[in-house]
Structures are given as C-alpha cells and as structure tokens.
Amino acid sequence: MRATLTALTFDPLGVVEIDALPTSNTGESRRRMNRVATLDGGAVFNDFGFSEADRSIELRWVPRSAEHEASIARLVELYAQIRLSMPAGCYLAALETYRPGADESSLTLLVREKLA
C-alpha cells in the first residue's frame, strides 16, 4: 500500500511517500458507545455514533535510505498535523510516534478527520 504524507503549508521538502507493509494497521471502525447494566438484569446502550477521529493508523515499512528516514523525522519534528493520503482515503492526522529501525520503521498517526 502506498501512503503519502504532506505538510499542510507550502514546504518543498514536506512530501514523503511510504511503501507500507501489509502488517500496517489502518485502524478499526467502531462506534462511540458504551453499555450500562440495569437493575432488572438488562442493559442500556448509549450510542454516540461513528467518528473517524477514533481511528489510529500505524504505518510500517522497510527503510529505503537514510535520507528517506530523515525526511520522515523532519515531518514529525516540524509539524503537529499532516495530510495522509492512502487507498482508504485522505485524512488530516496528528503525528504521534515515529520509530526508526534498521529492518522496519513505523509511524503512528491519530486521525482528526477524513477529508475525502
């Protein structure tokens, strides 16, 4: 899967493409709900709907080069939020955790909203 990270402001160096591994996690879709037990042995469900903002995305990839990893680290250091484009859609996301590695690197993003 191809994922593209872009800065929200003009930045000639603010675009990075990642060839994500199949072990990447694009987050689960779930509703905002909870269950409360009642005294009669039943339950009441509070359903507050679905929100893309509950999704966390973890991208994993095999490092291409030191320059590629440096460009990802640069995005994490300079920007609180980026635009993430992948086959599932285009998202506004916060960069939470970047873990560089020799064999596999990963990036965890917290989705703020789905743009398209």
pLDDT tens over the chain, length 116 residues? 999 999 999 999 999 999 999 999 988 788 889 999 999 999 999 999 888 888 899 999 999 999 999 999 999 999 999 999 999 899 999 999 999 999 999 999 999 999 98
DSSP state letter for 25: B
Report how far residue 81's alpha carbon sits from residue 9's, in angstroms, rounded to the nearest whole number: 10
Enumerate domains of the chain plus CATH numbers.
2-114 (2.40.30)
24: Cβ contacts below 8 Å, ≥ 6 apart: 1, 3, 57, 58, 59, 60, 61
Report how far residue 25's alpha carbon sits from residue 59's, in angstroms, rounded to the nearest whole number: 6
Give the residue from 107, 17, 105, 100 showing the smallest Cα distance to 59. Answer: 107
Structural tokens at position 50: 């679905």
